[in-house]
Structure 1
């Protein structure tokens, strides 16, 4: 795939900056899973809503939004209270028919486990931010170590009483960057929580946005390769780091803002085809 920068833009940075300004607007919110974060004003609800919405950010965007609507209806639009008081026996039947059809299916039984793990997380730490900050060290160049510790600790809590351990399918939904997973959905969640502008909510102001890693999926990697932002052939944490490092040349303090530009570039190319 070849991408030609329009002649009115002297450099790739100019083009990406223009795309960022074009797509980083409140209009972006309603067609993106971040809409479920903006639905709430209480920070406790916002971060839990963001974590759950990001888990399902896999596959067709319309289906992602529809699946999330089903879950938020189940939670009666009170995500923090729902998770804090979650009873896996009570909700086993309610979640049994839930399936999010994506590249691989996410089933209600997986969410049952994740909700129970989140319940224990909130009981111990009060918020997801408090757990993340426990593992965050501003001396580290990226959030990799903090994210790995965050995931490991969530997965260390007890599974629902009927299970002997955490299913592999749940481990797949909460990947560890130490295993070289690109962690697309977790990095997207962190973008929502850390950056602050007209789209991202910036609840976790203690985290340096310069340390974020771009949410990497096949769409982002394809365009990034075409732009020369990575030479790597496979999608991995190292690939996401390489793309982010190259985007830092354009904005050292906020490289992940270009996630909007790459998304927008995909829209621009689709409109031209």
Structure 2
């Protein structure tokens, strides 16, 4: 497939899947329950954190988590008491459990109290063409409080060769603006051109079939290679092609 044909094909598929119907089966529906910026940020971050495995299970547990927080995630993060954290006991999604969740709540409170908000951290450390170093710095700040060592694995680090799929998906939600109401675009201090495609087994396999990616492992090096390929197709909004790659892989078994 020629480059022009590939671009036309992926543009068509991106538009097809970057549509309101996409929300119905995707974890992005959880932050869509809210209208306040901070509620969207926090619900999105927590949902993205547990967004691996069975999609029905992800949605079920994300909704349960919002209910445990009184469907007011920002208020819960900022004003919770010890007994409120105790009420989170028993929450589990795969390897993410209530011990991890309690630290996440305390850390988010620390970020909003002492670092402005989540966006401010990414804005400070973003590079003109990448947010991957900013993810590394975010993780350092996120774990600046005393924490269980087991919890660190739930925030990926691109500088340790992780593709950081879930947090890149979260950044797409927060930063990218679209005309379909899927991604929120509420972080106006960061440009969509700085985003990286959430790389997983589905998007990776499709990218390889389309010769956008050669590297076999879905790691940080593969992400950099895929970013380079997608930026050639659209420098201003490269991660719109996440919809195309994901849709082709999951829904069309391309």
TM-score higher than 0.5: yes
SS in 1 for 2:16: helix
Q: Deviations over 1:177-236 (max 9, x none)?
A: 111111111100100011011210001111121111111112221221222111112111
2:243 is the alignment partner of 1:260: yes
2:130 is the alignment partner of 1:136: no
Partner of 1:44: 38
RMSD between superposed Cα atoms in Å: 1.8
| Post-superposition offset of 1:21 | 0.9
Equivalenced residue count is 251
Q: Deviations over 1:145-196 (max 9, x none)?
A: 222111211111x23xxxxxx2333211111111111111110010001101
Partner of 1:171: 152
2:169 is the alignment partner of 1:194: no
Within 5 Å, give how 1:91-106 maps onto structure 2. 91-101=84-94, 105-106=95-96
SS in 1 for 2:188: coil
1:216–1:240 contact (8 Å) kept in structure 2: yes
Q: Distance in 2 between matches of 1:238 and 1:100?
A: 28
2:140 is the alignment partner of 1:152: yes
Q: Distance in 2 between matches of 1:93 and 1:153?
A: 24
2:156–2:164 contact (8 Å) kept in structure 1: yes
Change beyond 3 A, Cα 1:253–1:114: same
Partner of 1:14: 8
Q: Deviations over 1:72-116 (max 9, x none)?
A: 0011110111111233x3245422211113xxx211111111111
Q: Distance in 2 between matches of 1:124 and 1:137?
A: 23
Q: Distance in 2 between matches of 1:30 and 1:76?
A: 22
Q: Distance in 1 between matches of 2:233 and 2:47?
A: 30
Give unmatched runs, 5+ long, in structure 2: none
Give unmatched runs, 5+ long, in structure 1: 160-165
Q: Identify which range, 197-206 or 126-135, moves more after superposition.
A: 126-135
* 2:25 alignment partner, one of 28, 31, 46: 31
Larger radius of gyration: 1
2:122–2:131 contact (8 Å) kept in structure 1: no
SS in 2 for 1:34: helix
Q: Distance in 1 between matches of 2:187 and 2:207?
A: 27
TM score, norm. by length of structure 1: 0.86
TM score, norm. by length of structure 2: 0.93
Q: Distance in 2 between matches of 1:268 and 1:37?
A: 23
